[in-house]
Amino acid sequence: MAEKTIRIGTRDSELALWQAHTVEKKLNDLGYKTEIIAVKSQGDIILDKPLYELGITGIFTKTLDIAMINGQVDIAVHSMKDVPTALPIGIVQGAVLERANTLDILVHKGNLDFLEEKGTIATGSLRRQAQWWNKYPNHNVVDLRGNVNTRMQKLQENDWNGAVFAAAGLERINLKPENYINLDWMIPAPAQGAMLVVAMGNDDFCRDAVAQLNDIETEVCTHIERQFLKTLEGGCTAPIGALAKYNEIEDTIHFNGVLFSIDGKQKIEVNKIVPIEEWKKLGYNSAQEIFANGGTELMSTIKATLKK
Ligand SMILES: NCc1[nH]cc(CCC(=O)O)c1CC(=O)O
């Protein structure tokens, strides 16, 4: 059926490789030949145009964007929540895979008494930090970066009560321990738990191939969440959470979106149920509601704080 080998670009973390292999297997099952190309760092990649002209942003996705534009890989697999809402020129959304667990979890050490007292938890995410402080105002939050393996390792080595992870990431690589709790009150990052396959807009062969992996329900829900993010953000990284869920019985979308101040004290939230026909503008309209309820001011405070 397919002569051409589809070169699948991925980062080289365990989670990224797991995700790339999942896409590879689905393509193989459809009869396509594939090859995985894992990229480590940006390297000495020569492009004849400056990055900003191509609209390339996003620390996690930049290297793969360049590899694809340079023709070294045909498609790339990403955790969708790491992908900037505006894709670089020439690159298109090829498929959104069926979503896994959307929740954040707290992996803890020892018992949970610290929740009622004064604990120290670790996260590198502004969104998680703000929501933690909103719920536990007198807790310490310390910075924690790196891929999930590194973060889990650092949690074991340090004297913290726990650290926040996306359940999906730990479940995919079998790293979810027994001592965790679901943070069902925490609103996840837009597109958390979803995988995105991107391709070149002019590559019909690969676009046709990956289109068969698309899950329409996940595509619609993540579109809503990312439209909400894009409308609010305008190029800065604010504590924003969003989750859209489709209700099959009612044929409705339940959308929950939130913007926090950095310190977590201020919270502006949208929570609504709309008929499915209204999905296309739901993210945008919800962001406008946030703006109207103090979000415009809060966003400019956040931008000013993050610039310092
Ligand atoms: N920011 C890193 C990142 N990007 C995607 C995942 C996990 C998979 C997902 O959320 O889809 C993670 C790890 C985490 O947030 O703990």
DSSP string, 182-245: EETTSPPPTTTT-EEEEEETT-HHHHHHHHTT--HHHHHHHHHHHHHHHHHHSSS---EEEEEE
Note the pLDDT of residue 3: 81
- Count of CB atoms situated within 10 Å of the CB of 306: 12
207 near 94, Cβ under 8 Å? yes
Q: What is the DSSP letter of 292?
A: I
Reported residue count of the chain is 308
Ligand 1: centre distance to CA 4 (Å): 32
Q: Is 169 in the pocket of ligand 1 (CB under 6 A)?
A: yes
Q: Is 166 in the pocket of ligand 1 (CB under 6 A)?
A: yes
Hey, which of 148, 172, 215 would you mutate to test ligand 1's pocket, going by the most ligand atoms within 8 Å of its Cβ? 148
Atom of ligand 1 nearest to the CA of 80: 11
Q: State the catalytic residues.
A: 82
Report yes or no for ipTM above 0.90.
yes
190 near 147, Cβ under 8 Å? no
Ligand 1: centre distance to CA 129 (Å): 15
Ligand 1: centre distance to CA 54 (Å): 26
Nearest CA to ligand 1 atom 5: 79
Residue 51 tokens, joined: 């990055």
pTM of the shown model: 0.94
Ligand 1: centre distance to CA 166 (Å): 5
pLDDT in tens, the chain (308 residues): 558 999 999 999 999 999 999 999 999 999 999 999 999 755 345 456 666 666 666 777 889 999 999 999 999 999 999 999 999 999 999 999 999 999 999 999 999 999 999 999 999 999 999 999 999 999 999 999 888 999 999 999 999 999 999 999 999 999 999 999 999 999 999 999 999 999 999 999 999 999 999 999 999 999 999 999 999 986 668 999 999 999 999 999 999 999 999 999 999 999 999 999 999 999 999 999 999 999 999 999 999 988 87
Q: Is 215 in the pocket of ligand 1 (CB under 6 A)?
A: no
Q: Is 75 in the pocket of ligand 1 (CB under 6 A)?
A: no
Ligand 1: centre distance to CA 149 (Å): 11
Structure-token match 């900003």, residue found: 52
Nearest CA to ligand 1 atom 11: 193
77 closest CA partner among 224, 225, 243, 210: 210
